[in-house]
Structure 1
Amino acid sequence: MPLPSPHPLRFGLVAHRRHRQADSGLARWIAACEPAIRALGLGLHAVGGTYDALAGSGRLAGYAPLVRYPFGYEGGLMRLVSHVAGAADPKDALDGVIYLTDPVDPSSIYPEALALKRQCVTHGKPFVSTAAGAIEWIAVELAHAGLGGVGVDGAERLFALQTQTVALIAHDALKDRMVDFAATHFELLSRFAGRVATGTTGSRLNDMAWARGWPKDQNWVRPYLSGPLGGDAQIAELVLDHRCHKVIFFEDPHVARQHEADIQLLERAVCSAGVETTCFNSPMMAHRWAQALGLRPA
């Protein structure tokens, strides 16, 4: 369903130092998406170093919805967390975050970075952590805005499901929602070249597919181990080997997770392969992405 918003969408924007270099994630994203960003009127609330990198590139010159926040060490990232959760001033409220993450940058595990992602998941707002994901998400918003005539360089490759494998993972409290999501978008997900899942989620998804007429002698998803037993790590290796291109991961932000290290390993693998890998970590993100594919021209 569309994001409820009375204003043009506003996203926080953060890029780690490696992604702010020439021909890096931020530069590739803005080169691919600048016309689309302008067409959407997308507000970009950029933390200090990210804003300065954009200004130095000459991109988005004169674009009023580009707003500068303080540097991270001055509290810029902390302000983004507050503005995702619910800003005191409506003009500062954010509808999502693009955070181009370098998994070996120590700041990727700072409390404010972890809180930013958690608040996005908690409030059902997109958290986009890779360059490929940032390009794809702009195309998603174009589709929902009815602006299919505006191009995004590289989006067609990212939407070529027939060449990709998708991972479907859900924490215990969200397994029912994952099965519902897969049932709702069964035909779309069946277009992928392959599907993988961890443990119980995989078993339940196969049961759903067989009930819908999928051949009983074929798995609809290839099941791996459960997350606590190493399934997240197995799928992380597929991501690193470029054998898994999308990760749909329904995270429960409200419970302590005994295998948190495994979850973070998978998320960091996605960021390591971020030139071609995307991750949707909430039901809202996954549904909005799937609906956008239905809105795009065939």
Structure 2
Amino acid sequence: MNIALIAHDEKKEEMVNLALAYQLILENHNLYSTGTTGLRIMENTSLQVQRFLSGPLGGDQQIGAMIAQNNMDVVIFLRDPLCAQPHEPDIQALLRLCDVHRIPVATNLATAEILLKALEQGNIAWREAIK
């Protein structure tokens, strides 16, 4: 499965901690990320991440293109609902794409953990359900 990992500035540390906690699950999948988030994950784990541009430079749009082309299976976008900065990725565009293309998306730690645990148990067969 292809998994996108994106985080607003204030949530990057939380994303690193999530990647550390679920490293054994994530290492079995293809990981994609915006530039800085992916770098932080790789610096703190043994995970390999395909990094796109940083969010402000269009990395979120590159991930959005993968979603639109049916090349993304799960999106984890840890967003800061209270203090998102103007330069940070636009969550609304990615949420819209995920909804249009029926891609599971987590915007907080609790939902991210549920998705990752479902992946671990092999309980995400949504692609077969929509064929």
TM range (shorter): 0.7 to 0.9
* Letter of the structure 1 residue corresponding to residue 3 of structure 2: V
Task: For 1:239, give the aligned amino acid.
Answer: I
How far 1:259 moved relative to its partner?
4.5
Do residues 284 (structure 1) and 110 (structure 2) align?
A: yes
TM-score of the pair, normalised by structure 1: 0.38
3-state SS of 1:168 partner = strand
Q: Conserved in 2, the CA contact under 8 Å of 1:228 and 1:262?
A: no
Contact 2:78 2:107 in 1 (8 A): yes
Question: Matched residues in 1 for 2:88 and 2:36: separation?
Answer: 18
Secondary structure at the counterpart of residue 236 of structure 1: helix
Distance 2:89 2:109 in 1: 22
Deviations 1:241-266 (A, max 9, x none): 01111100101001143147733222
CA offsets 1:40-96 (integer angstroms, 9 cap, x no match) = xxxxxxxxxxxxxxxxxxxxxxxxxxxxxxxxxxxxxxxxxxxxxxxxxxxxxxxxx
- The answer to whether the 8 A contact 1:248-1:280 is kept is yes
**What is the root-mean-square deviation in Å for CA atoms of aligned residues?**
2.1
- State yes or no: 1:207 paired with 2:35: no
Distance 1:293 1:266, change over 3 A: closer
| Corresponding residue for residue 247 of structure 1 | 75
Q: Distance in 1 between matches of 2:113 and 2:81?
A: 18
Matched letter for residue 289 of structure 1:
L
Q: Post-superposition, which runs of at least 4 consecutive aligned residues in structure 1 deviate over 4 A?
A: 292-297
Q: Could you say what secondary structure the match of 1:252 adopts? A: coil
TM-score scaled by length of structure 2 = 0.83
CA contact (8 A) 1:166 1:196 kept: yes
Compared with structure 1, are the counterparts of its residues 292 and 262 closer, same or farther at alpha carbon in structure 2 (3 Å cutoff)? closer
Query: Match for residue 175 of structure 1?
Result: 12
Q: Which one has more relative contact order, counting CA pairs under 8 Å at least 6 apart?
A: 2
Bigger radius of gyration: 1
1:166–1:246 CA contact under 8 A, matched in 2: yes
Alignment partner, residue 185 of structure 1: 22
Q: 2:126 maps to which residue? A: none
User: Residue 233 and residue 295 in structure 1: after superposition, are their counterparts in 2 closer, same or farther (change >3 A)?
Assistant: closer
For 2:113 and 2:89, the matched residues in 1 are separated by 27
| Closer, same or farther: CA 204–260 of 1 in aligned 2, 3 Å | closer
Q: Which runs of 5+ in 2 are unaligned?
A: 124-131
Match 1:268 to one of 96, 99, 102:
96
Question: Which runs of no fewer than 5 residues in structure 1 stay unpaired?
Answer: 1-163, 215-219
Shift of 1:268: 1.4
Q: How many residues align?
A: 123
Cα shift readout 1:199-235 (whole Å, capped 9, x = no counterpart)? 210101111234xxx6xxxxx0101111111111110
Q: Is the 8 A contact 2:8 2:88 kept in 1?
A: no
1:156-184 Cα distance to aligned partner (Å, 9 max, x none): xxxxxxxx200001111111110111111
Label 1:263 to 1:206 Cα distance change in 2 as closer, same or farther (>3 A). Answer: same
Residue 292 of structure 1: how far off its partner (Å): 4.3
Q: How far 1:269 moved relative to its partner?
A: 1.3
2: CA distance between counterparts of 1:291 and 1:245?
15
1:165 aligns with 2:25: no
Alignment of 1:1-298 (within 5 A): 164-192=1-29, 194-210=30-46, 220-259=48-87, 262-274=90-102, 277-294=103-120
